[in-house]
Amino acid sequence: MNFVSTRGNVTKIGFIDTVLMGLANDGGLLVPEKIPQISADKLEAMSELTYQELAFEIFSYYVDGEIPDNELKALIEKSYATFRHPEVTPVKKVKDNMFVLELFHGPTFAFKDIALQFLGNLYSYVSKKTGETIHILGATSGDTGASAIEGVRGKEGIRICILHPHGKVSKVQELQMTTVDDKSVLNLAIKGTFDDGQRIIKELFADMNVKNKYHLRAINSINFVRILAQTVYYFYAYFQVKKELELQSVNFSVPTGNFGDIFAGYLAKKMGLPVGNLIVATNENNILEGFIRDGVYEPGEFRSTYSPSMDIQVASNFERYLYYLLGEDSKAVSDLMEKFQSEGKIVVSEEQLRQVKVDFAAHGVEGEECLQTISKYYDETSYLLDPHTACGVAAYERCNDSSEVCVTLATAHPAKFNESVERCNIQQTFPEQISQLFNKPQYLEVVEADKDEVVRHLETLFRFTAN
């Protein structure tokens, strides 16, 4: 299996090199040269597998022997042994034709654990094999940071720096990141938004002098492994629902800000999974809804919302979708991204927009609609949604035909966003792991949203390996 850049200047690199490169050296994103195709007979056989066995089957298409089978299986087993539910991502029926896929049973109670527990162990594996110290740099709108730190903390040969927007994540998200007392972990709270942090990350990875000097590796969903690991639970959810209902395909409603989680579903569909409609659920930061509706991708004014993990204007993984929308034409992608850099927006043709509407539906959920959805489902079904999942459910109600089966991705435990839940006059009991956070000291530094200032802090964290 070879991987290529969406912008065409990185070609035919293997799986491990793809993991280590993260952001392609030409500024694009890495994608498989050819998406594996899974036959109906193979899908039928895969439907009886455990989550871990299924992950091995799907990963194997992309790893393509670069990691011996026994070692890949051991990495997978180790990664999901930390989850509180034996199924890893159980599917719960909430009402007729409506299911939720619970992705919050990992160490930090968020869907990011599913990819980052594996990626953390994979980085540790590579470090031991090569003797190379891994320096991880990432930005977070809340959940990635905690999951990434949990995935790599205490692992020999790995150090990590996470940027988060100061005062723009939930209290639990902040505590999960900043109560980690570890010299190999650096939390920088930037005076800005997630988009500022993401911009700094991309600038640093695009600066080959900085990237090579500090041996930087990516933990954000610009790293293809994040997408690959998330693809597994679409297969798993489909198989579980199909065991209960006779159906040809399943729709998915996906709360998304950076387009990674929904792109994983798109990838699963292109691999052959019988996915029907892919519903993009956003909040008031609804650049993706605007694109799917009108064919115009243009950031608007940033808004803080009840679903802060989706408070993102510029979605990193959108470029991966553009690559396929434009017929895998890397020159066209590169030209369009250059135009976006200079003009601040992307406009696709009418023909391309028709394809977008075949691929996706979308709904941007306003704040009150989000809270009303939490209250409604708690009153009617006793199921408590976190605000991001509530956006997914609200989008399901708006975009899904009542005769079709839909799975909404439940991306976080509601305890992570108690500020929003309390607005619905709902009192919840915190899991013990979250309750304990409030009694711990915090370790973070507040900094300007400036590339050079971030580099100065990296110098402190990584100085002993800089050359």
Q: Token digits for 358?
A: 């075949």
449 within a domain of the structure (yes/no): no
96 within a domain of the structure (yes/no): yes
**Is 157:128 a contact under the CB 8 Å cutoff?**
yes
Q: Token digits for 4?
A: 């290529």
351 within a domain of the structure (yes/no): yes
148 within a domain of the structure (yes/no): no
Describe the strand order of the beta sheet including 185-191 as a list of residue ranges.
Answer: 216-218, 134-139, 158-165, 185-191, 445-448
466 pLDDT exceeds 60? Answer: no
Q: What is the pLDDT of residue 465?
A: 42
**Which tens digit of pLDDT belongs to each residue from 417-437?**
999 999 999 999 999 999 999
**Which tens digit of pLDDT belongs to each residue from 82-117?**
999 999 999 999 999 999 999 999 999 999 999 999
Kindly state the average pLDDT of the residues 287-306.
Answer: 94
127 within a domain of the structure (yes/no): no
Kindly state the average pLDDT of the residues 432-458.
Answer: 94
Catalytic residue selected from 95, 112, 168, 331: 112
CA 198 to CA 124: how far, in whole Å?
A: 24
> Domains in the chain: how many in total?
1
Based on the residue annotation, tell me whether 112 is a catalytic residue of this protein: yes
CA 276 to CA 282: how far, in whole Å?
A: 19
267 within a domain of the structure (yes/no): yes
Q: What is the pLDDT of residue 221?
A: 87
DSSP 351: H
CA 113 to CA 105: how far, in whole Å?
A: 8
**Which tens digit of pLDDT belongs to each residue from 172-197?**
999 999 999 998 899 999 999 999 99
Find the largest Cα–Cα distance for the chain: 61
Mean pLDDT of the chain: 94
**Which tens digit of pLDDT belongs to each residue from 301-353?**
999 999 999 999 999 899 999 999 999 999 999 999 999 999 999 999 999 99
23 within a domain of the structure (yes/no): no
Q: What is the pLDDT of residue 163?
A: 96
Q: What is the pLDDT of residue 462?
A: 75
408 within a domain of the structure (yes/no): yes
**Which tens digit of pLDDT belongs to each residue from 213-246?**
888 999 888 999 999 999 999 999 999 999 999 8
**Three-state SS letters, 287-334:** HHHHHHHHCEECCCCCCCCCCHHHCCCCCCCHHHHHHHHCCCCHHHHH
When pLDDT is cut at 50, 70 and 90, the band that residue 463 belongs to is low
**Which tens digit of pLDDT belongs to each residue from 38-70?**
999 999 999 999 999 999 999 999 999 999 999
Name which of 76-80, 168-172, 210-214, 410-414 the model is least confident about. 210-214
Tell me the CA end-to-end span of the chain in Å, nearest whole number: 33
Structural domain of 99: 91-109+225-423
For the chain, give the percent of residues with pLDDT over 70: 99
**Three-state SS letters, 338-397:** HHHHHHCCEECCHHHHHHHHHHEEEEECCHHHHHHHHHHHHHHHCCCCCHHHHHHHHHHH
Kindly state the average pLDDT of the residues 407-419.
Answer: 96
What is the CATH number for 347?
A: 3.40.50.1100
